[in-house]
Structure 1
Amino acid sequence: MNSTFPQQQLGKMIGTIAIIALSLTGVIWLQKSLIAPETKQLTPEEYEKQQALEKLQLNVYKNLPSFGYGNIAADWFYLRFIQYFGDGEARKHTGYPLSPDYFQLVVENDPSFVDANLRLSVSTSLFAGLPQKSVQLLEKSLENTPSKIVSPLYHPYYLWVYKGVDELLFLGDVEAAKHSNTMAANWADTYPDEVSKNLARRRRQTVEFLENNPDSRVAQIGAWSQVLNSAINAEAVERALGEIQALGGEILVTPDGNISVSVPEHID
């Protein structure tokens, strides 16, 4: 009787063990960080060294196969990104240059992870200053995401919305933004709920604005309003509010603290 494993089966077993170990390590690391957060004040050089080490680890992970456990790996990379993004003190010194690395790892392991991909898109374009990379990764996500899937927070048509925001606001690619907004409207129209129908209507209005006036401030205010609605920290809120006001939009704060945006009639 041959007691040796076939090479393919052995490779899969090793991969499974590696993914489980990776996940357990991530859970323990996150729990430790949350229960006993680092209180020691590091120097800028030490923060840079930490980031360099994290970059090295992420590059290693990019070359590891998932062996069918892509969803688990994507969850872990997203949790790791949340920890990275939320370390405000470190980000003051290093910025957010690793955002596209986390984004790439999530997309490659679970391209249909809509909620994570949207947050990673904002971080990559707005905070890391790499909107072209964000668009590329959103395209890869969209290539592998059906128009109708169950997602905890956002329907998949928001991937087209965010792609259109990057193209309009940061890349100045009006034609690409028109296409993305049209696709967002088409996907949203396949959903029966009123929120999706309203979004489809607004996306088509955006396309109309851009066709009649490629430099439409109305469309730009709408795009920044989308950034505001999806802001993941105070810095993003302040940036979006400042841009909306600079374009002539009006900021309204309701008595219960909610923020809404209106566009004066004279704005084209």
Structure 2
Amino acid sequence: MFGRQISRKIVPVAIALGCLSAIGFLQTSKLAQLSTQADQVQNSLKYETDLRHQQASLKLLHQFPDFGFDNLVADWVFLNFLQYFGDNAARKRTGYGLSPDFFEVIIKRDPRFIRPYLFLSTSVSLKAGQPQRSVQLLDTGLQSLDPKVDPNAYLVWLYKATDELLFLGDNQSARNSHQKVVEWSQENSDPDSQRLSALSARTAKFLANKPNSKRAQINSWLLVLVNAVDNNGRQRAIKNIKRLGGEISFGKDGSVTVIPPRED
């Protein structure tokens, strides 16, 4: 009798405590969700603010007069671009649309600065989806380049050829650019440069015989693969090589082997 009375008293208390615990859990979860949403909004506002500041800064630098420090300005802008490009969280929010503006300043200030051209093609064509603007910027830089002065200048023609073939579908221009790669790379006896020259020679030949050559496209995606600056670029290149019928394998030393399809 006494035990049943205690039991009747305990059960309602236990139910009440369980309800309170459930309410507390739901409130805590809701607060955590609201806190996360607030953080996302705050981050989004920060990314947008940073983007506007970067845009204004690049516009000012583009119009800034020449005081003899162009090389330093180009270096500084390129370092800022690398921070911009590498901020994956911000780029997911605001995209890569500012990439061409960075390179307009860099090329205007120091068109002979070869290294940024690789990132130009990747960020403007692949990421920002503006291959036409990428080719225009590469053309602008090429006007100031001379393979006798910089033996690596042929690389700019190589990036241009890739953009023309893969992203613009301008096969004739791509063929001409690959022929320029072969011509300019004669000034560089480095083995890697000569391998790239041979690859460009084959690609130009494929395009001459068959403008829509799968082998030419595979060679270009191979160049994207070996020059990719992030994993997304590498995966996109691998996907497209396989889509075109190429078989791809990787050596333990990091080398890449691609077997093209039997029929081009």
* SS of 2:53 mapped into structure 1: helix
Q: Aligned AA for 1:126?
A: L
Q: Aligned AA for 1:125?
A: S
Moved more, 65-74 or 187-196: 187-196
Tell me which residue corresponds to 1:128. Answer: 128
- State the shift of 1:200 in Å: 2.2
Moved more, 186-195 or 102-111: 186-195
Q: Encode CA deviations 1:45-100: one digit per residue, 9 max, x unaligned.
A: 33122212211221111110132211000000000000101111101111111110
Tell me which residue corresponds to 2:200. Answer: 203
Tell me which residue corresponds to 2:260. Answer: 264
Tell me which residue corresponds to 1:15. Answer: none
Moved more, 223-232 or 159-168: 223-232
Q: Aligned AA for 1:176?
A: S
Q: Aligned AA for 1:175?
A: Q
* SS of 1:266 mapped into structure 2: coil
Tell me which residue corresponds to 1:178. Answer: 175
Structure 1: gaps (5+ residues)? 1-39
Tell me: CA distance 1:160–1:119, structure 2 relative to 1, closer, same or farther (3 Å). same
Structure-2 separation of matches of 1:199 and 1:240: 17
- State the shift of 1:267 in Å: 3.8
Structure 2: gaps (5+ residues)? 1-38
Q: Name the count of aligned residue pairs.
A: 225
Structure-1 separation of matches of 2:252 and 2:201: 32
TM-score w.r.t. length of structure 2: 0.80
Which of residues 225, 240, 251 in structure 1 aligns to 2:237? 240
Moved more, 239-248 or 188-197: 188-197
Q: Percent identity?
A: 40
Q: Indicate yes or no: 2:163 matched with 1:169.
A: no
Structure-1 separation of matches of 2:43 and 2:142: 41
Checking the alignment, whether the CA contact within 8 Å between 2:135 and 2:164 is kept in structure 1 is yes
Checking the alignment, whether the CA contact within 8 Å between 1:218 and 1:263 is kept in structure 2 is no
Moved more, 197-206 or 215-224: 197-206
RMSD after superposition: 1.7
Structure-2 separation of matches of 1:218 and 1:264: 6
Give the number of the structure whose residues are more often helix, by fraction. 2
Q: Indicate yes or no: 2:242 matched with 1:250.
A: no
Tell me which residue corresponds to 2:21. Answer: none
Structure-2 separation of matches of 1:267 and 1:45: 52
Structure-1 separation of matches of 2:240 and 2:202: 21
* SS of 1:262 mapped into structure 2: strand
Q: Indicate yes or no: 2:228 matched with 1:231.
A: yes
* SS of 1:114 mapped into structure 2: coil
Q: Encode CA deviations 1:192-216: one digit per residue, 9 max, x unaligned.
A: 3333333222212111100111111
- State the shift of 1:265 in Å: 4.7
TM-score w.r.t. length of structure 1: 0.79
